[in-house]
Amino acid sequence: MSSKEGLVKLGLIGAGNMANAVHYPSLAEFKDVQMVALCDVVEEKLNDTAKRFDIGKKYVDYERMIDQEKLDAVYILMPPHKLFDLVIDCLDVGLDVFIEKPPAVTAFQVKAMARKAQEKDAIGMTGFNRRYIPIMRQVKRQVEEQGKVNQVVSTFYKQGEAVYYDGAIDALSCDAIHAVDTLRWLAGGEVEQVASLVKRYDDVTPNAWNALISFDNGVSGVLLANWNVGGRVHQFEVHAPGMSAFVEPDVEGRLVTAEGVEELDPFQIAGSEENYKYYGFYDESRHFIDCLKSREEPSSSFADAVKTMELVEKIKQCNFT
């Protein structure tokens, strides 16, 4: 980017629900960011979103936008099966790129995106927002300060269809990937071995994924994901000698030691009851903008997202006997 000390000039592709609910409200609060132009093929959404966030330029063709506007980076907030071409086109002209999870449909696609970003000396980041949730970052730090982490558990339960976008992608790759990525982040090591059990409960497609993951730093990881249960539960555990943390990041957190239990309030820690702030979206965008200015690799870079996608694909290869 050309304006390291000044405004970061952004182009925005997508005017959907997540863009309006969490991403653009976050960007609108950054004094060092200018939302220059917005693109969406649905003109009603385009006009409403541009008006809401005072975005001056509107496009229905993203190629025209990146050709005509002087931009530093682009937010591409599109479904995973429609991301790849847009990401490559933006990287090709030297733009830094932020995308929502999942970064693509396959690890192969993410590898191509990561190679292109490296080739163009561009920054690419995937919005794995759980890494940036204030209560998650706090408990990770506190447990690591207590002692070496030895076990992490990542749980994601939902009741609903296990295929997304009319079958373009499965629930593990599209949504439960949050649990997979956070497991990797909390463990802090590289995957060595994976043993998984994949089940179909009253469905024609797999809708439950349970796995044991061994990391090279000695951490044991457990993934529990099931899309045919009572309802949404999204919880994480981090264990070290002398301290354990249990966090449901939009509900509560607990630190457990021999001295007792410390209750944690996710809203108090974030300093806000706004979802986009206490659930990590604000902090992930702040991280992306800061990385653009410093030219440092983001925590959830395209290269790192490859590892999460590869772990997802290993889990799908059920090897439980």
Closest CA to 8 of 101, 69, 71, 68: 71
pLDDT at 62: 98
Listed in sequence order, the residues at least 6 apart from 26 whose beta carbon sits closer than 8 Å to its beta carbon are 276, 277, 281, 282, 285, 286
Calculate what percentage of the chain has a pLDDT beyond 70.
Answer: 98
Instruction: Give the residues across from 206 on adjacent strands.
Output: none
Characterize the bridge pairing of strands 228-240 and 151-159: antiparallel
Q: How far apart are CA 193 and CA 272, in angstroms?
A: 39
Region 145-166: mean pLDDT is 97
Q: Global pTM?
A: 0.96
Note the pLDDT of residue 320.
Answer: 75
Residue range 162-220, pLDDT digits in tens: 999 999 999 999 999 999 999 999 999 999 999 999 999 999 999 999 999 999 999 99
DSSP 3-state of 231: strand
What pLDDT does 3 receive? Answer: 46
Q: How high is the mean pLDDT of the chain?
A: 96
What are the boundaries of each domain within the chain? Answer: 8-128, 131-272+301-316
DSSP string covering 178-214, please? HHHHHHHHHH-S-EEEEEEEEE-SSSSS--EEEEEEE
Q: So what CATH class is 8-128?
A: alpha beta
CATH top-level class of 131-272+301-316: alpha beta
